[in-house]
């Protein structure tokens, strides 16, 4: 049996992970040959970054000699640093590695708060305050209000909302993100705790189905509220499957977020034919 056949069987049965889409050489091309550009950027900027990188690695005990070049010794030091900080080990200094090099991990109830940590907390609070996640005056203390602001920020930008400011959170805080409209509906929803997301969506589905039920021209008498509520709840389990079969798809426009629930109103309007059809399937 050839190696190609073995590799195919390993991938087919999940015995071996497929190769990453971006191998190391592709990452080098993306991050090094196409760096982040800004006003004042010059050919010397790359050299200054290498010098700063080596100084940081040496200060933390990962590098012995500062050469001014990204040589093999520097790459090995970067790999050691990434392993020590649970980062992707590839020897490439990307946004997460830079964040981890310059910014400490922050969380509430840290045992010791050195002046360096307090400065980092204050910078964190300033960013959260500018984004509207932290309302108090920045004071350099990781309070409960600061933790709440961090969790809200993490939920908004799809991070793990654990309240811990690690490399990924710092990278997003410092600009690796798109600006979100302060008045957007999604921002209001993401301020809810994650346990409430499912209940909130379930409530909206039931509400719009009941709206359709009581607005339905089919049938003379509207059902009693408890029957309508039970019917609407049952239909929430059916509608997602119906939407996959119908050409009508929910709206994805962020400017009209409630428009995605229009099919639920239609489901409520035609609740009797749908219930009769589903009942006929089981008879």
Quote the mean pLDDT of the chain.
Answer: 78
Query: Which pLDDT belongs to residue 5?
Result: 60
Band of pLDDT at residue 278, cut at 50, 70 and 90 = confident
Q: Which residue has the higher pLDDT, 151 or 180?
A: 151
Residue 114 burial (C-beta neighbours within 10 Å; 0-12, 13-18, 19+): exposed
Is residue 34 scored above 60 in pLDDT? yes
Average pLDDT over residues 156-167: 89
Query: Which pLDDT belongs to residue 39?
Result: 85
Query: Which pLDDT belongs to residue 23?
Result: 43
Same fold, 19-102 and 115-190: yes
Q: And the tokens for 52?
A: 């700063």
Cβ contact 46:35 at 8 Å: yes
Domain spans of the chain, in order of start: 19-102, 115-190, 194-281
**Whose CA is closest to 75, among 27, 6, 18, 122?**
27
Query: Which pLDDT belongs to residue 195?
Result: 52
**Whose CA is closest to 257, among 200, 217, 196?**
200
Average pLDDT over residues 74-91: 93
Class of 115-190 in CATH: mainly alpha
Query: Which pLDDT belongs to residue 26?
Result: 46
Is residue 112 scored above 60 in pLDDT? yes
Query: Which pLDDT belongs to residue 25?
Result: 47
Percent of the chain with pLDDT over 90: 32
CATH number of 19-102: 1.10.101.10
Dihedral sign for Cα 181, 183, 184, 189, please.
Answer: positive
Q: Which residue has the higher pLDDT, 245 or 89?
A: 89
pTM: 0.56
Average pLDDT over residues 249-265: 65
């Amino acid at each position: 049996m050839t190696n190609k056949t073995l590799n195919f069987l390993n991938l087919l049965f999940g015995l071996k992970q497929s190769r990453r889409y971006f191998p190391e050489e592709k990452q080098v091309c993306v991050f090094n040959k196409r760096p982040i550009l800004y006003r004042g950027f010059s050919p010397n900027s790359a050299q200054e970054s290498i010098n700063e990188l080596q100084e940081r690695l040496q200060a933390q005990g990962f590098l012995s000699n500062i050469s001014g070049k990204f040589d093999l010794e520097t790459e090995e030091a970067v790999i050691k640093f990434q392993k020590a900080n649970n980062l992707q080990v590839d020897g490439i200094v990307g946004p997460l590695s830079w964040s981890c090099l310059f910014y400490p991990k922050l969380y509430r109830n840290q045992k010791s708060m050195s002046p360096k940590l307090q400065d980092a907390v204050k910078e964190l609070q300033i960013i959260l305050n500018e984004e509207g996640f932290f309302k108090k005056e920045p004071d350099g203390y990781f309070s409960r209000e600061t933790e709440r602001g961090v969790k809200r920020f993490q939920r908004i930008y799809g991070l793990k909302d654990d309240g811990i400011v690690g490399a990924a959170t710092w990278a997003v805080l410092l600009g690796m993100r798109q600006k979100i409209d302060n008045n957007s509906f999604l921002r209001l929803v993401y301020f809810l705790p994650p346990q409430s997301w499912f209940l909130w969506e379930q409530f909206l589905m039931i509400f719009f189905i009941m709206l359709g039920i009581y607005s339905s021209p089919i049938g003379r008498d509207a059902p009693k509220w408890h029957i309508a509520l039970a019917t609407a709840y049952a239909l929430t389990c059916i509608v997602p499957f119906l939407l996959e079969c119908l050409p009508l798809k929910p709206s994805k426009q962020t400017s009209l977020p409630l428009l995605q629930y229009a099919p639920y109103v239609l489901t409520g309007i035609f609740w009797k034919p749908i219930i009769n059809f589903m009942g006929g399937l089981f008879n």
